[in-house]
Structure 1
Amino acid sequence: MDPFQMVVAIIAIITIGRVIQTKQKAKHGIVEDENFMGTKTHRLLNNADTQQMQDEIRALKERIQVLERIATDNNSASDINRQIEELRSR
Protein backbone atom coordinates (compact mmCIF):
# COMPACT_ATOMS: atom_id res chain seq x y z
CA MET A 1 0.00 0.00 0.00
CA ASP A 2 1.52 3.31 -1.02
CA PRO A 3 1.56 6.37 1.31
CA PHE A 4 -1.34 8.10 -0.48
CA GLN A 5 -3.64 5.12 0.00
CA MET A 6 -2.58 4.88 3.65
CA VAL A 7 -3.50 8.55 4.25
CA VAL A 8 -6.87 8.10 2.54
CA ALA A 9 -7.55 4.97 4.61
CA ILE A 10 -6.70 6.77 7.86
CA ILE A 11 -8.95 9.71 6.98
CA ALA A 12 -11.80 7.36 6.07
CA ILE A 13 -11.45 5.44 9.35
CA ILE A 14 -11.42 8.66 11.40
CA THR A 15 -14.43 10.05 9.53
CA ILE A 16 -16.46 6.87 9.99
CA GLY A 17 -15.54 6.82 13.69
CA ARG A 18 -16.67 10.42 14.19
CA VAL A 19 -19.99 9.74 12.42
CA ILE A 20 -20.65 6.70 14.61
CA GLN A 21 -19.66 8.66 17.73
CA THR A 22 -21.99 11.55 16.83
CA LYS A 23 -24.89 9.19 16.12
CA GLN A 24 -24.43 7.51 19.50
CA LYS A 25 -24.35 10.86 21.31
CA ALA A 26 -27.51 11.97 19.53
CA LYS A 27 -29.22 8.67 20.30
CA HIS A 28 -28.54 9.10 24.02
CA GLY A 29 -29.41 12.82 24.10
CA ILE A 30 -25.88 14.15 24.64
CA VAL A 31 -25.30 17.66 23.31
CA GLU A 32 -21.86 19.11 22.72
CA ASP A 33 -21.60 22.86 23.28
CA GLU A 34 -18.62 24.97 22.28
CA ASN A 35 -18.06 28.43 23.70
CA PHE A 36 -16.25 31.32 22.02
CA MET A 37 -12.90 30.16 23.41
CA GLY A 38 -13.26 26.74 21.80
CA THR A 39 -13.92 24.90 25.05
CA LYS A 40 -16.25 21.97 24.49
CA THR A 41 -18.71 20.81 27.12
CA HIS A 42 -21.13 17.91 27.03
CA ARG A 43 -24.54 17.94 28.59
CA LEU A 44 -27.37 15.48 28.70
CA LEU A 45 -30.73 16.67 27.47
CA ASN A 46 -33.58 15.71 29.71
CA ASN A 47 -37.16 15.31 28.58
CA ALA A 48 -38.13 18.81 29.72
CA ASP A 49 -35.39 20.39 27.58
CA THR A 50 -36.30 18.25 24.61
CA GLN A 51 -40.00 19.05 24.94
CA GLN A 52 -39.28 22.76 25.30
CA MET A 53 -37.14 22.75 22.15
CA GLN A 54 -39.76 20.81 20.20
CA ASP A 55 -42.47 23.26 21.29
CA GLU A 56 -40.30 26.21 20.28
CA ILE A 57 -39.53 24.68 16.89
CA ARG A 58 -43.21 23.95 16.31
CA ALA A 59 -44.13 27.57 17.14
CA LEU A 60 -41.43 28.92 14.84
CA LYS A 61 -42.61 26.68 12.00
CA GLU A 62 -46.16 27.98 12.44
CA ARG A 63 -44.92 31.57 12.35
CA ILE A 64 -42.90 30.90 9.21
CA GLN A 65 -45.95 29.38 7.51
CA VAL A 66 -47.99 32.47 8.32
CA LEU A 67 -45.23 34.79 7.09
CA GLU A 68 -44.90 32.81 3.86
CA ARG A 69 -48.66 33.01 3.35
CA ILE A 70 -48.61 36.76 4.00
CA ALA A 71 -45.75 37.26 1.55
CA THR A 72 -47.30 35.20 -1.26
CA ASP A 73 -51.00 36.05 -0.98
CA ASN A 74 -52.54 39.15 -2.47
CA ASN A 75 -54.07 40.66 0.63
CA SER A 76 -55.11 44.15 1.52
CA ALA A 77 -52.95 46.18 3.89
CA SER A 78 -55.50 45.91 6.70
CA ASP A 79 -55.64 42.12 6.36
CA ILE A 80 -51.83 41.92 6.49
CA ASN A 81 -51.77 44.14 9.58
CA ARG A 82 -54.35 41.92 11.27
CA GLN A 83 -52.33 38.77 10.52
CA ILE A 84 -49.14 40.36 11.84
CA GLU A 85 -50.92 41.39 15.05
CA GLU A 86 -52.17 37.81 15.44
CA LEU A 87 -48.56 36.62 15.22
CA ARG A 88 -47.48 39.10 17.86
CA SER A 89 -50.18 37.94 20.24
CA ARG A 90 -48.95 34.32 20.14
Structure 2
Amino acid sequence: MGEIGVFIPIIALMIPIVAIWTKHQQKLAEMHLHSTAENSAEKAAQYASRVQQLEDRVQVLERIVTDRGYDVATQIEALRDSRRVEDADSGVPMDFGRKERA
Protein backbone atom coordinates (compact mmCIF):
# COMPACT_ATOMS: atom_id res chain seq x y z
CA MET A 1 0.00 0.00 0.00
CA GLY A 2 2.98 2.29 0.53
CA GLU A 3 3.91 1.98 -3.11
CA ILE A 4 0.59 3.48 -4.21
CA GLY A 5 1.14 6.46 -1.91
CA VAL A 6 4.31 7.37 -3.87
CA PHE A 7 2.39 7.49 -7.16
CA ILE A 8 -0.25 9.95 -5.92
CA PRO A 9 2.09 13.03 -5.86
CA ILE A 10 3.69 11.94 -9.14
CA ILE A 11 0.26 11.74 -10.80
CA ALA A 12 -0.72 15.07 -9.27
CA LEU A 13 2.38 16.70 -10.78
CA MET A 14 1.90 15.05 -14.17
CA ILE A 15 -1.64 16.41 -14.69
CA PRO A 16 -0.53 20.06 -15.30
CA ILE A 17 2.40 18.88 -17.40
CA VAL A 18 0.07 16.86 -19.63
CA ALA A 19 -2.31 19.84 -19.85
CA ILE A 20 0.51 22.19 -20.91
CA TRP A 21 1.81 19.66 -23.45
CA THR A 22 -1.71 19.17 -24.90
CA LYS A 23 -2.20 22.93 -25.24
CA HIS A 24 1.19 23.20 -26.97
CA GLN A 25 0.29 20.42 -29.40
CA GLN A 26 -3.00 22.18 -30.17
CA LYS A 27 -1.17 25.45 -30.95
CA LEU A 28 1.28 23.60 -33.21
CA ALA A 29 -1.62 21.99 -35.08
CA GLU A 30 -3.33 25.38 -35.53
CA MET A 31 -0.09 26.94 -36.81
CA HIS A 32 0.38 24.08 -39.26
CA LEU A 33 -3.22 24.43 -40.44
CA HIS A 34 -2.81 28.19 -40.91
CA SER A 35 0.45 27.71 -42.82
CA THR A 36 -1.12 25.07 -45.05
CA ALA A 37 -4.09 27.35 -45.78
CA GLU A 38 -1.76 30.23 -46.75
CA ASN A 39 0.28 27.98 -49.04
CA SER A 40 -2.87 26.63 -50.65
CA ALA A 41 -4.18 30.15 -51.25
CA GLU A 42 -0.88 31.23 -52.82
CA LYS A 43 -0.79 28.17 -55.05
CA ALA A 44 -4.40 28.74 -56.08
CA ALA A 45 -3.59 32.34 -57.01
CA GLN A 46 -0.56 31.24 -59.03
CA TYR A 47 -2.62 28.57 -60.75
CA ALA A 48 -5.37 31.06 -61.59
CA SER A 49 -2.80 33.48 -62.98
CA ARG A 50 -1.23 30.77 -65.13
CA VAL A 51 -4.64 29.65 -66.39
CA GLN A 52 -5.48 33.25 -67.32
CA GLN A 53 -2.19 33.59 -69.22
CA LEU A 54 -2.89 30.40 -71.14
CA GLU A 55 -6.44 31.51 -71.93
CA ASP A 56 -5.09 34.81 -73.25
CA ARG A 57 -2.60 32.99 -75.47
CA VAL A 58 -5.29 30.69 -76.82
CA GLN A 59 -7.46 33.71 -77.63
CA VAL A 60 -4.60 35.29 -79.56
CA LEU A 61 -4.02 32.08 -81.49
CA GLU A 62 -7.72 31.77 -82.25
CA ARG A 63 -7.79 35.36 -83.48
CA ILE A 64 -4.78 34.74 -85.73
CA VAL A 65 -6.36 31.67 -87.26
CA THR A 66 -9.88 33.04 -87.66
CA ASP A 67 -9.30 36.73 -88.46
CA ARG A 68 -6.31 36.53 -90.75
CA GLY A 69 -6.86 33.15 -92.29
CA TYR A 70 -4.05 30.67 -92.65
CA ASP A 71 -1.40 33.06 -94.01
CA VAL A 72 0.73 32.73 -90.87
CA ALA A 73 3.58 31.19 -92.88
CA THR A 74 3.68 34.19 -95.22
CA GLN A 75 3.70 36.55 -92.23
CA ILE A 76 6.64 34.66 -90.73
CA GLU A 77 8.51 34.85 -94.02
CA ALA A 78 7.78 38.58 -94.22
CA LEU A 79 9.28 39.01 -90.75
CA ARG A 80 12.34 37.03 -91.80
CA ASP A 81 12.72 39.18 -94.91
CA SER A 82 12.47 42.37 -92.85
CA ARG A 83 15.17 41.06 -90.51
CA ARG A 84 17.46 40.34 -93.46
CA VAL A 85 16.99 43.90 -94.69
CA GLU A 86 17.67 45.29 -91.21
CA ASP A 87 20.82 43.16 -90.88
CA ALA A 88 22.05 44.27 -94.29
CA ASP A 89 21.47 47.93 -93.38
CA SER A 90 23.27 47.63 -90.05
CA GLY A 91 26.64 46.92 -91.65
CA VAL A 92 27.14 43.72 -89.66
CA PRO A 93 27.98 40.77 -91.91
CA MET A 94 25.55 37.91 -91.48
CA ASP A 95 28.28 35.25 -91.73
CA PHE A 96 30.62 36.82 -89.17
CA GLY A 97 31.67 33.40 -87.86
CA ARG A 98 32.82 31.97 -91.20
CA LYS A 99 36.18 32.52 -92.90
CA GLU A 100 36.46 32.69 -96.67
CA ARG A 101 38.78 30.17 -98.26
CA ALA A 102 40.85 31.04 -101.30
Task: Flag whether TM exceeds 0.5 (same fold).
Answer: no
TM-score (structure 2 length as normaliser): 0.33
Rg comparison, structure with higher value: 2
Larger strand percent: 1
Higher relative contact order (CA 8 A, sep 6+): 1
What TM-score do you get using the length of structure 1 for normalisation? 0.36
